[in-house]
Amino acid sequence: MSNKDNIYATTQAVEDFTFDAKVVEVFPDMIQRSVPGYATIVSTMGKLAGQFAQNNSNLYDLGCSLGAVTLSMRRNIDKENCAIIGIDNSAAMVERCKLHLSGFRSQVPVDIRLGDITQSNIENASVVALNFTLQFIPLEKRQALLSNIYQGLKPGGVLLLSEKFRGNDEQADSLLIDLHHDFKRANGYSELEISQKRTAIENVMRPESLEQHLTRLQSIGFSQTQVWYQCFNFCSMIAIK
Ligand SMILES: Nc1ncnc2c1ncn2[C@@H]1O[C@H](C[S@+](CC[C@H]([NH3+])C(=O)[O-])CC(=O)[O-])[C@@H](O)[C@H]1O
Ligand SMILES: O=C(O)C(=O)Cc1ccccc1
C-alpha cells in the first residue's frame, strides 16, 4: 500500500509540479484517485501488449513511473525472446520502480533506465506504451518523439497512447473538466487540493484535443488508429504501424 496523497491539502505557494521523491511516496494513490479508469487502462494495455507482442522484439514503457504498465505487459507476454525497457527521467521514480519490480518474478527480462524519452533510441519494438506521458513533453517535441517511435516499431507493431485531452471548444472542455473534478471530489480530494493541483500542473502538462492526437498519428504514417477507452477528459488509443 502506498501513502495517501495529501500534497496539496494545506494552503501553500504552489510551485510547478515535478515527479520528485515526495510525489513518488504517494504516486499510486494519486494516480488511482485522479485518473478515471486507471486500473482498467493499465490492465487492458497489458492485454493489448500480450496480443501484439512479437517473438524476438522489445516492448517499451515510456515514462514508466513505478512500472505499472511494465508489470501489466510482463504478465501477459507469452512470446519468445521478448524484453521490456522502461524509461523515466525522474531519478526518484526510477529508483522506486526498480525496487518495486524486484519484488516480482518473471521469465521476461526488464530493464528500467533513467533517461529522457525524447533522446532515447527505440528499436526492434513490437509495442510502445505512453501511458499519460506525452502530455508532459513540450508541444514542439511531440511530433519528433512520435516519429522516432514509429521508426522503431516493426511492421504490425503498436503504440498504446493514453492522454488527458482538451475538449474541442470552451464549453465542451469545461464540461469535461467539471466532470473530472466531480470524480476527484468523490475520491476524497477537497476543493483546495483540486484547485492547487490544477495550478501546479498548468505549466507542465499541456493537453491537446483528441483530433490533434489522431491526426498527428495518421500523418506520421500509422495505418490504423482507434480510441478504445474514454471517460471524461481521459482516453486511451491504439495506433498500428
Ligand atoms: N522527457 C521525459 N522522459 C522520460 N520520462 C518523462 C519525461 N517527461 C515526463 N516523464 C515521466 O513521465 C511520467 C508521467 S506519469 C506516467 C504514469 C505511468 N506511465 C503509469 O502508467 O503509472 C503520469 C502522471 O503522473 O500524470 C513521470 O514519471 C515522469 O517522470
Ligand atoms: O491530477 C490531476 O487531476 C490530473 O489531471 C493530472 C493527471 C493527468 C493524467 C494522469 C495523471 C494525472
**147-160 residue pLDDT tens:** 999 999 999 999 99
* Domain assignment of residue 1, yes or no: no
* Domain assignment of residue 188, yes or no: no
Residue 169 labelled as part of a binding site: no
Average pLDDT of 190-212? 96
Please name the residue ranges forming H helices in the chain: 21-34, 38-52, 68-76, 91-101, 139-152, 170-186, 191-201, 210-220
**pTM of the full structure:** 0.98
Average pLDDT of 4-31? 96
Whether the CB-CB separation of 160 and 131 falls below 8 Å is answered with: yes
* Domain assignment of residue 197, yes or no: no
For residue 38, which atom of ligand 2 is closest to its CA?
A: 10
Strand partners, 234: 164, 231
Answer yes or no: is the C-beta of 177 below 6 A from any ligand 2 atom.
no
Given this model, what pLDDT does residue 134 score? 98
Other Cβ atoms closer than 10 A to 72: 23
Which CATH number does the domain housing residue 134 bear?
3.40.50.150
For residue 105, what pLDDT band results from cuts at 50, 70 and 90? confident
Range of the domain at 91: 38-166+205-240
Q: Whose CA is nearest to atom 1 of ligand 2?
A: 34
Of 155, 125, 149, the residue nearest 137 (C-alpha): 149
**Domains in the chain, number:** 1
* Domain assignment of residue 224, yes or no: yes
The DSSP 8-state label assigned to residue 108 in this structure reads S
Backbone angles phi, psi at 56, to 5 degrees: 55, 45
Whether the CB-CB separation of 88 and 64 falls below 8 Å is answered with: yes
For residue 130, what pLDDT band results from cuts at 50, 70 and 90? very high
**What CA–CA distance (Å, rounded) separates 231 from 216?**
22
Whether the CB-CB separation of 13 and 39 falls below 8 Å is answered with: no
Average pLDDT of 39-52? 98
Site to substitute for ligand 1 among 88, 133, 202, 233, most atoms within 8 A of C-beta: 133
Average pLDDT of 171-178? 97
Q: Is 187 strand, coil or helix?
A: coil
* Domain assignment of residue 52, yes or no: yes
For residue 1, what pLDDT band results from cuts at 50, 70 and 90? low
Residue 231 labelled as part of a binding site: no
Answer yes or no: is the C-beta of 44 below 6 A from any ligand 1 atom.
no
Answer yes or no: is the C-beta of 34 below 6 A from any ligand 2 atom.
yes
Ligand 2 midpoint to CA 220 (Å):
27
Least confident of 8-12, 60-64, 100-104, 227-231: 100-104
pLDDT at 18 over 60: yes
Closest ligand to C-alpha of residue 63 is 1
Assembly ipTM? 0.97
For residue 104, what pLDDT band results from cuts at 50, 70 and 90? confident
Q: How far apart are the first and last CA of the chain?
A: 38
Strand partners, 229: 236
Whether the CB-CB separation of 42 and 68 falls below 8 Å is answered with: yes
pLDDT at 127 over 70: yes
Site to substitute for ligand 1 among 65, 135, 198, most atoms within 8 A of C-beta: 65
**What CA–CA distance (Å, rounded) separates 4 from 7?**
9
Ligand 1 midpoint to CA 112 (Å):
13
Mean pLDDT of the chain: 97
Average pLDDT of 217-237? 98
pLDDT at 44 over 90: yes
Q: Whose CA is nearest to atom 26 of ligand 1?
A: 132
CA dist list (Å): 52 to 28, 79, 125, 239: 27, 10, 10, 11
**What CA–CA distance (Å, rounded) separates 208 from 62?**
19
* Domain assignment of residue 27, yes or no: no
